[in-house]
Amino acid sequence: MIKTDILIIGAGPTGLFTVFEAGLLKLKTHLIDALPQPGGQCSEIYPKKPIYDIPGFPEILAGDLVKNLMEQIKPFEPGFTLGERAETIEKLEDDTFLVTTNKGTQHNAPVVAIAGGLGSFEPRKPPIPNITDFEDKGVAYIIRDPEVYRDKRVVIAGGGDSALDWTIFLADVASEVTLVHRRNEFRGALDSVERVAELTKLGKVNLITEAEVKEIKGTDHVTGVGIKHKTEGDINVDTDYFIPLFGLSPKLGPIGNWGLEIEKNAIKVDNSYDYQTNIPGIYAIGDVNTYKGKLKLILSGFHEAAIMCQSAYQRIFPDKKYVMKYTTVGGVEGFDGSKKEAKKEVVKAIM
């Protein structure tokens, strides 16, 4: 059985930053994540996508943000149970929690912090009869490694930010990019729509609107798609890959059966104090929680993690009074014996 001070469910950016905030309080942490690597959506869905709203970083790739967070928490030696889903939770007689994964791994902690982002995700698949036959054979719902499409022909379907962003990105990677959308209007950012229009004029993107992909062609791998156009009828496009980007459906999964108060597929918390759920000792931070005025931003999750850890400390050590010390004054002392602190100058008295 794995024992720790704070058991963090979800190893996305918020979960990872929780390790740092807990470490400053000398609290040990362990993380559970169903994905095979830390980073959550940033690693699994859009590692090469730039993020613009992280303080101090005018622009940073999602994958690089995860890399930096992993480096930041390294001194606090967190444990990881990856590739396993938190399945059940049990309150023990000593007021701690026992969390068991779908593979039977048991974890014990006095505090559980749910930082599972929007939960587990399932791609929204278009109603194409044979689409499942070509999954991993030219059909992909998530772009993990853009280099797979280097010098290949790609058809993307969708009209949101993801479809627009990847169309723009792959225009400089793939040999041919076709974007298919059922409407003339897009739901993405205006600058992205304008950029796709510009690339279309330059001949770097083949834009087909008022149309839908209705058929996938090929035997062992995708060789083309059949498109139904509103006015032009049937269109056939030869391609090596078909990528329908219609978003992902978030699901809380087994956590939804833990007796927590749920509202619109999110966990209700007390945001006026510490982001605790209706079960004392269980907190929810990041995109997985909801409260009045909630903003689903990574920086909001970072803030919630810091507040939550202060409350967790008081729960674990009710008889101790913690005096907050700023890292600019006290530095950062890792569990591995490392110490980071500002250089102290020696000032001699003038007689």
Place of tokens 């890292």: 327
Cα–Cα distance for residue pair 283/312, rounded to 1 Å: 9
Residue 145 marked ligand-binding: no
Residue 5 marked ligand-binding: no
pLDDT value at residue 303: 96
Cα–Cα distance for residue pair 226/215, rounded to 1 Å: 5
Helix axes 190-201 and 161-170, enclosed angle (nearest 10)? 40
Residue 86 marked ligand-binding: yes
- Specify whether the CB–CB gap between 7 and 112 falls below 8 A: yes
In our burial notation (b when 16+ CB lie closer than 10 A, e otherwise), range 6-27 reads bbbbbbbbbbbbbbbbbbbbeb
Residue 317 marked ligand-binding: no
Residue 121 marked ligand-binding: yes
Q: Is 314 helix (H, G, I), strand (E, B) or coil?
A: helix
| Whole-angstrom Cα Rg for the chain | 24
- How many residues appear in the chain? 351
Cα–Cα distance for residue pair 164/157, rounded to 1 Å: 9
Residue 209 marked ligand-binding: no
Residue 33 marked ligand-binding: yes
Cα–Cα distance for residue pair 241/159, rounded to 1 Å: 18
pLDDT value at residue 342: 72
pLDDT value at residue 118: 67
Alpha carbon separation from 137 to 93, 100, 128, 203, 243 (Å, rounded): 51, 35, 15, 27, 11
Residue 81 marked ligand-binding: no
Block means of pLDDT (10 residues each) for the chain, 351 residues, are 97 97 96 89 76 92 94 96 93 97 96 84 85 94 88 96 90 97 89 93 96 95 96 95 86 88 91 91 95 92 96 93 72 83 66 55
- What is the identity of the amino acid at 98? L
